Amino acid sequence: MASLTDIAWSDFAALSLEAKRPYLARREGDGMPYHTLFAQQFDRALLVRLCALANRIRFINKSKEGALYLKSVLAHKRAMLYFSQPSSRTFLSHLAACQILGITTGSVRDAATSSEFKGESKEDSIRTFSSYFDMIIMRSPEQGLAEKMAWELSNSSRPIPILNAGSGKDQHPTQALLDIYTLVRSFENKGGLDGRTVVFCGDLLRGRTVRSLSYLLTNFRDVRQVFVAPKELQVPADVTDILTAKGVSYSVSGNLREAVRDADAVYMTRIQDEWDSSKGASARIDTSHFKFGAEELAVLKPDGVIMHPLPRRDEIATCCDHDPRAMYWRQMRNGMWIRAALIAATFGFEESVMNCGY
């Protein structure tokens, strides 16, 4: 069994994402991640298990008795939410997921209120959290920090799991899980997700949710991916290289209306201008053709769905909000269920929740 204690950081860091996967898995050998850092840790079997567990938790939570049972599952655990980048949904849904499972939480949402402000390194801060908590859920502008911390903690006297809640422009694995859960639920009684066409639109260059979801979709059969963006913000080669290597059919386009006609799901994203190299650089790009409005709604298939990781600016017109195909509100709530499932599974409670009497 591969373990992070058996490999030097520099050797681990040099591995491909697929090769890193066994080092991040639970020791019990059930394939489930211990540290959740990137989408490449999930294959189809794991996705099916997590969606089933999320469904189960959602169902159990409906009755008072069930909800009280769920609250007992991880009542002996504490989790630290360490978010050094802005967040509403990812923070709150992880918090709510912890609450569903009875986990006590602490949080730092602004480094200015922690000892980082006094010059403490992020590494030391995270070591500090591990003294008091049993899991760290972290979001950072720094790509690779969650991975480094996972290695550090696994090699410390208090190894605890890390959940990546967004790492720079790189990955957002739990968002991709909730996106998959939403897609699976959307097509549940309509023939499933295999064979569908998913259109990504917006800032595909710097959107971490796109990178993680694009990978997770490769676990499904014949899912075609279409990337619609202004050419300055088109999908980067590292994403399409994976699709090419896996033989996934994809195309790149500048025409949203046309792409929507063939789409089963349209995944809109906002312009990630916090990453602009010079202030206002994104504002000079013409993004006017990359917005979903009444005309796009009119050509979307009757069974099609509109998704967005949120927050939205003006990429989806509010006139779409009450259409039954607008899935972004449900998508947000699905985040709570799938994160509860992932956290329960991380701590080894998948089977007991699946088989409980509720």
Give the DSSP per-residue string, 229-286: --GGGPPPHHHHHHHHHTT--EEEES-HHHHHHT-SEEEE----GGG-SSTTTGGGS-
| 54, 178, 195, 326, 338 from 189: Cα distances, Å | 17, 18, 14, 18, 20
CA-nearest of 247, 192, 257 to 225 is 247
Which residue in the list 172, 185, 196, 206 is annotated as catalytic?
172
Chain-centroid distance, C-alpha 70: 23
Which residue in the list 71, 89, 261, 301 is annotated as catalytic?
89
| 149, 199, 267 from 208: Cα distances, Å | 19, 16, 13
Which of residues 71 and 333 has its CB atom nearest to ligand NCD in the complex? 333
CA-nearest of 101, 43, 3, 19 to 346 is 101
- For ligand NCD, the binding residues (CB under 6 A) are 89-90, 166, 172, 175, 208-209, 269-270, 309-311
What's the closest the beta carbon of residue 262 comes to ligand NCD, in angstroms? 25
Which of residues 41 and 174 has its CB atom nearest to ligand NCD in the complex? 174
211 as an active site residue: the answer is no
Which residue in the list 122, 139, 185, 270 is annotated as catalytic?
139
- Asked whether 236 and 263 are in contact (CB, 8 A), the reply is no
Which of residues 196 and 339 has its CB atom nearest to ligand NCD in the complex? 339
284 as an active site residue: the answer is no
Which phi and psi angles does 15 have, rounded to 5°? -75, 160
90 as an active site residue: the answer is yes
Which of residues 161 and 166 has its CB atom nearest to ligand NCD in the complex? 166
Which of residues 230 and 309 has its CB atom nearest to ligand NCD in the complex? 309
Chain-centroid distance, C-alpha 114: 26
172 as an active site residue: the answer is yes
190 as an active site residue: the answer is no
Q: Which residues are known catalytic residues?
A: 89-90, 118, 139, 172
